Chain A
């Protein structure tokens, strides 16, 4: 697949503050790429640089292998759905959607046709003459998407477009957006801080923190093989532990020598270990690799979340079977479910809460 958009060594400084630090990223045609990270990680700035609303302090942005730095936003072949929609309050729904087409001098009859087709696509048939200020958040959001998509952009940029919607509507819109993207064959670059949203919708996720991309990969890659403790903690829930790589396939943590499937570390190298709560199996006391006592149980609907105090560590364990508070249990972890990662440079405690 050809690279449609490419960022090479993009940095951005606001005053003395580095917001983006040497970001490399490419986006292929028809890909759904999500920039995922906590607020202030530089994901929106990255999107704004692609959109042309910010200039990078250094580095270059390519669109079909041509540098975009000297192209102003209104001449870029992409459209944006803004966080708060930014609909034009002085125009009605149809006028908002027609705005881009009017500028391109599309014939009136054709504009009308396209507006109606777009309203159908976003499930707002018959809303042409409504004032945008009289619409609900979800409806405004659909108008914003229609207004962008009607221009048939090669790339659609979306800046946390579902952030203001309630949970149920958000889930529905996630599915709808993904459907639209597949149906229209448009490249989506999507910014969010919601890891679940990213996992649900994306072909590729770029996890960002403090102006850097920490890991790029498919949702499965990112979830199952996080590159460092930050990614592991940000995506899904996890137990993050300090350990030592004794030799290939053997790692020591929580005072126990575990078998794992990782290799290539130096002998006795200090590492971070990630174990997902759903990957820990509860067994009878004394039969586990580590043994302890359940200190807390929370019912989460699909499963129980239990805290197990064992080997001086409070383990988070998910299971559909409840072990009552105070009961003694053993914990078992399969070798392939232990993720060994290099120690991250920055302190984990600073970034993960």
Chain B
């Protein structure tokens, strides 16, 4: 009897995994396939074509949305990485009690639903603009918002690297005559690099990926790609949405694969000579 069951389990195991992956990726697969469909129809396949991609890239709104998404991703990554790395170093120097509190606080935005982050940022921006008497939502506010939600990811990926540091490393550099700045750049920063890069890649991915926070912190005139998709669906579904979604999916997928490859690469390297650069 038990033998029978164990046989069934052996058969079911890969089937179960396959079913799970199928449900996860089937919608995306359909989306990708139909982005190459030479027809407006969403039900019938009428041959392979790039026409929706062509149409997409000839659309000036989509072009500006693409530009915005790239600029947002690059600048929010740069600022968030700088701020997050410095913050992680500062937090590490705190006394234990305040460190725990600050780490908790900096982790909250990651857990927070994007709707709340988005709405609260929007309200904050509008409040400030009213106080100043000028300004409005747009690319600037969207960039600030992206920096805000990206900083915690950088802190979370740099902190473990700081914890691994030999506490005497910085002092050893000073001891050998190095001034504090040189000690930081030549000795401490190279040790933190892996965490900094991982944090930056995560931030970049999050920024490309974001819809909700961007939606609330921009004006109707300034769109990124995800907002562009959303507004296109409101005017009826055009297959060029499939094309755009496919592009975003591929970019995010590539970023994730890169991050994972990096981690794996670091682990094998550490195994070889105990180092992680």
Contact = CB atoms under 8 A, between A and B. Distances in A.
Interface of A: 51-53, 72-75, 79-80, 82-84, 86-90, 99-100, 103-104, 131, 133-134, 147-148, 151
B274 A74 contact: no
A75 B175 CA distance: 8
A195 B273 CA distance: 36
A84 to B, nearest CB: 6
Interface string B168-199: 11011111111110110011001100000000
A62 to B, nearest CB: 19
Contact of B274 (A82, A83, A84, A133): A133
Nearest to B164: A89
Contacts of B180: 74
A131 B175 contact: no
Interface string B149-181: 000000000000000001011011111111110
Interface of B: 166, 168-169, 171-180, 182-183, 186-187, 190-191, 273-275, 277
Contacts of B179: 74
18 contacts: A53-B174, A73-B171, A74-B176, A74-B180, A79-B175, A82-B171, A82-B172, A84-B168, A86-B168, A86-B171, A88-B187, A89-B277, A103-B178, A104-B177, A133-B275, A134-B274, A148-B175, A151-B176
A151 B178 CA distance: 12
Contact of B174 (A72, A134, A147): A72
Nearest to B275: A133
Contacts of A86: 166, 168-169, 171-172
Nearest to B272: A134
Contacts of B169: 86, 88
A87 B277 CA distance: 15
A86 B182 CA distance: 16
Contacts of B183: 74
A293 B21 CA distance: 81
Contacts of A80: 171-172, 175
Majority SS at the chain B contact face? helix
A318 to B, nearest CB: 40
B275 A131 contact: yes
B275 A147 contact: no
B16 to A, nearest CB: 43
A73 B168 contact: no
Nearest to A48: B171
B78 to A, nearest CB: 23
B273 A100 contact: no
Contacts of B175: 51, 73-74, 79-80, 148
A88 B178 contact: no
A90 B172 contact: no
Most chain-A CB neighbours within 10 Å: which of B171, B172, B174, B175?
A: B175
B273 A131 contact: yes
B51 to A, nearest CB: 52
Contacts of B174: 52-53, 72-74
Given A82-B171, A84-B168, A89 B275 contact: yes
Nearest to B177: A103
Contacts of B274: 133-134
Contacts of A84: 166, 168
Contacts of A103: 176-178, 182
Given A90-B190, A131-B275, A82 B176 contact: no
A80 B178 CA distance: 13
- Please name the 7 residue pairs, one residue from A and one from B, whose CB atoms are nearest each other, closest first: A100-B176, A86-B168, A86-B172, A90-B190, A82-B168, A133-B274, A133-B275
